[in-house]
Amino acid sequence: MKRGLFFLYLLWALGSKNAGAQEVGATWVVPPVLSIDDKFDISPKEDDSRFIGTRGKFRGVFDKTGKAILPVENQDIILMPCGWMVVSKQYGQRLLYNAQAVCMSQPYDNFNAYSNGTALVYKNGLCGLINMQGEELVPVQYEKFRMEENTYVFTGPDGERRLEAPPEIVPPNVKRVEDAKARSTLAGHYLFKGNGQFTTGLLNLKRDTVVPPIYRFEQIHPSGMITATLDGKTFGVIDTRHRTLYSFTAEQLGKWTKSGLLPVRFAKKWALIRFPAGDIVFPFGEYEYIETYDPEKDLFIVSKNKLQGLINLKKKVLLPLEYKHISQYDHVTTQLIDAQDKFGFCYRPTGFIQKPQFKYLRNLNDTLVIVATDSLSGVMNAKTGKYVIPMDRYQIEAIGEYFDSHKPQDWRARTTFERHIHGLYDRRGRLVIPHDTADIVMVPKEKTFWICYQDEDSSKVWEMRDLQGKTLQTMPKKGADLKKIGYFPSLYRYGNGVKTAMKITYKDAQGQEQFYSIISADMQENLRRVQLGKLWGFVDPDGNIVIQPVFEKVEVSKDGYVKVKYQGKWGVLQNPRYDYFEEFEKNIKK
C-alpha cells in the first residue's frame, strides 16, 4: 500500500466507526466500546463470556458485547466459573450476585459461595443453602454445617439433614482445556485428581475409573506403566489395569527407557529392572548408582567408588568409571568433569573423548564447543577435537551461527574504543569481521552486518558488509540511526558487542517503501507490534501486515486475543494467526 492510499484508508476508517472496526484484518471478540482502563483481562481459556474492567480504583463486569453486567463502582470482584459474582462494595461489605446480576445475598447476614452454583447462607446465627435462582434448597433454620466428601450436612434441634452436593459447573472453554490436559499425559486415558492434595487416578475414554485416585504419579511410560507413591516415601510401579508391577517398597526410582527399563533403589542398593515382567537386568548392589542416560538407546550412567562412567545394556564401557560428573544425554556434546574439577567432553557418535583439561566449556548443544582456560578461549570441533578457532586471549561467545570474539570486559576501566573491540567468526573459523569494531549488528535474513563504531572514534562511518567483507553501504557517524533506513536492532547480547536486527517494511515497490517508526522486539503468538506515525498495528514474522496500524494503543497477543484501543475505546481482537485451543491440543497423545 502506498503512503497516499494508506492515509486515505486511515481517514475513511476514522470517519466510519463500524466499518473501520470490521476492516482491520481481524475479527472483533469485544467491539471497541469500552471506556475503561487497559487493565482488563479476557482469555478464551477461561469463562470469556464475562471479564472485569477497571476505571480508576473501581471495577465492573462486562460481557463480550461490551455491555456492563455490573457497573464500574465496586472495590473488588471475584468471578466464579459457575456464574456467581462475589462483590465488595466497601470494606467489610460483601454481596453475592448470580450470572444475571441479581443480588442473592441481601436477605442474609453472610454467605459462602460454591462452584456448583449453590451458596451457604446465614441469618440470625442460623444457616441454610440457596441456588442461583435464590431458592432455599435447605431452609435457614440449622445451627451447624459441615462437608463430608460430596455431601452437605446441616445439624439442628431436630437432627441432621443431608444433601448431595451438585457437580461443579464448568464453562465450555474451561472444560475443553481441562479435558485436553487430562488427555495429554497418556494416550487413551484421562488423568484426574482425587480428594487428597496430591492424589491422582486414571479414567478410560468412556470415563470409567481404571486406576483409583489414591496415588501420586511420578513418571508415566508411553505404554501405560506408571511409577507412583502412596505416602511420598516409598515407590512402586503400576499399569493402567491397576496391576502392581513392583511393590511399593522402593526408596527411589530413576527414569524410564523407551524399552521399559527402570533403575530401582531398594535397601540402599540400585538395580536395573525390565518391565512389565520385572526381570532384573543389573543386580542390586553391582553399581553404587544407576541412572538412565539415553532412554532411546538404553545407555546408563553408573558409578563405583563415587566415580561415574557410561555403559550400554551389555555392560560395554563407553566412558570409563573415572569422572566426577557426566552431563545428561540431551546435550549434543557430553560434558565430563574429573576429580580435579577439570572439564572435558565426549562426542558419542564418533567416540571422540577430549580429556578434562579446561576451566569451563560452553555451547554444549552444538558440535562446536567453546573451551577456555584461565586466560585463553577457543572453539573446538567435538567430532574430532581439532580447533576451529585457535586459543587466544579474546573471550568467545556463540551468537546464532557465529562466534563473537572480544576482549575480556573490565567494568572498572575507562570506556574506550580499544576496550570494546569485537570480531566475528563463522562456523568454519573464518574471521568474517576482523577485530576493528565495537558493535556488530547482524541482519540474518540479508546475511549482512552493520559495523558500528564507538563514540570515541567519530571519524569513522557505519558500514554494511557482506559475508566476504565487502562494504555494501555506509552511513555518516554523526546522527547515524539504523531505524532511519528501516533496520531495527532487536536482540542485545552484550552492552557493547553483538546484537541482531531485522528489516521490515510494507511490501511496496522499490523506492516507495513505508518504514515503521517502531517494531517491537517481542514476537508473541506469530505477531509483532509495529508503529506507523502515532498508530499501531501488527505484522507477521515476514513483515506482512496482519492487523492494520489504526490503533492508539495495542498490547501483545495473549491466548489468541489482542487488546487494542481504537478511537478512544478499548476492544479485543481475535489473533488470526493463533488459535489457543488448536495450539493447546497439538500435544495431546493419540
| DSSP line for 123-166 | ETTEEEEE-TT--EEEEEEESEEEEETTEEEEEETTEEEEEEPP
Residues 483 and 516 in one domain: no
* Rounded Cα gap, residues 364 and 380, in angstroms: 11
Predicted local distance difference test score (pLDDT) of residue 408: 67
Predicted local distance difference test score (pLDDT) of residue 567: 94
Query: What 3-state class would DSSP assign to 582?
Result: helix
Residues 544 and 568 in one domain: yes
Let me know if residue 55 belongs to a domain. Answer: no
Predicted local distance difference test score (pLDDT) of residue 10: 40
The residue among 144, 169, 194 that closes a domain is 169
* Rounded Cα gap, residues 72 and 56, in angstroms: 9
Let me know if residue 385 belongs to a domain. Answer: no
Predicted local distance difference test score (pLDDT) of residue 436: 74
β 439-443/498-503 pair status: parallel
* Rounded Cα gap, residues 197 and 20, in angstroms: 51
Domain hosting 287: range is 172-367
Residues 202 and 255 in one domain: yes
The residue among 169, 203, 233 that closes a domain is 169
Place of cell 462452584: 115
Residues 311 and 335 in one domain: yes
pLDDT in tens, the chain (590 residues): 334 434 333 433 433 344 345 679 999 999 999 999 999 999 999 899 999 999 999 999 999 999 999 999 999 999 999 999 999 987 778 999 999 999 999 999 999 999 999 999 999 999 999 999 999 999 999 999 999 988 999 999 889 999 999 999 999 999 998 898 899 889 999 999 887 778 999 999 999 999 999 999 999 999 999 999 999 999 999 999 999 999 999 999 999 999 999 999 999 999 999 999 999 999 999 999 999 999 999 999 999 999 999 999 999 999 999 999 999 877 789 999 999 999 999 998 888 999 999 999 999 999 999 999 999 999 999 999 999 999 999 889 998 889 989 876 554 444 444 556 788 999 999 998 888 776 788 888 888 988 876 554 556 788 898 888 889 988 887 667 787 788 887 755 444 567 788 888 877 777 777 788 888 878 899 999 999 989 999 999 888 899 999 999 999 999 999 999 999 999 999 999 999 999 888 878 76
* Rounded Cα gap, residues 371 and 395, in angstroms: 10
Q: Tell me, what CATH number does 102's domain have?
A: 2.40.10
Let me know if residue 388 belongs to a domain. Answer: no
**Three-class SS string for 437-473?**
ECEEEEECCCCEEEEECCCCCCCCCEEEEECCCCEEE
Contacts of 140 (CB under 8 A, 6+ apart): 108, 121, 122, 123, 126, 127, 128
Residues 411 and 339 in one domain: no
Rounded to a whole number of angstroms, the CA Rg of the chain reads 32
Let me know if residue 386 belongs to a domain. Answer: no
Residues 194 and 271 in one domain: yes
Let me know if residue 141 belongs to a domain. Answer: yes
Residues 148 and 192 in one domain: no
Residues 312 and 194 in one domain: yes
Please answer whether residues 140 and 155 qualify as being in contact, where contact means their C-beta atoms are separated by less than 8 angstroms. no
Predicted local distance difference test score (pLDDT) of residue 410: 53
Residues 426 and 553 in one domain: no
Predicted local distance difference test score (pLDDT) of residue 476: 80
Let me know if residue 68 belongs to a domain. Answer: no
The residue among 169, 186, 215 that closes a domain is 169
Residues 159 and 178 in one domain: no
Let me know if residue 106 belongs to a domain. Answer: yes
Predicted local distance difference test score (pLDDT) of residue 543: 84
Residues 336 and 204 in one domain: yes
Residues 589 and 467 in one domain: no
Let me know if residue 374 belongs to a domain. Answer: no
Predicted local distance difference test score (pLDDT) of residue 102: 96
Of 2, 1, 10, nearest to 552 by C-alpha is: 10
- The Cα-based distances of 417 to 242, 403, 410, 457, 458 in angstroms read 69, 20, 13, 7, 11
**What total number of domains does the chain contain?**
4
Question: What is the DSSP-derived secondary structure letter of residue 527?
Answer: B
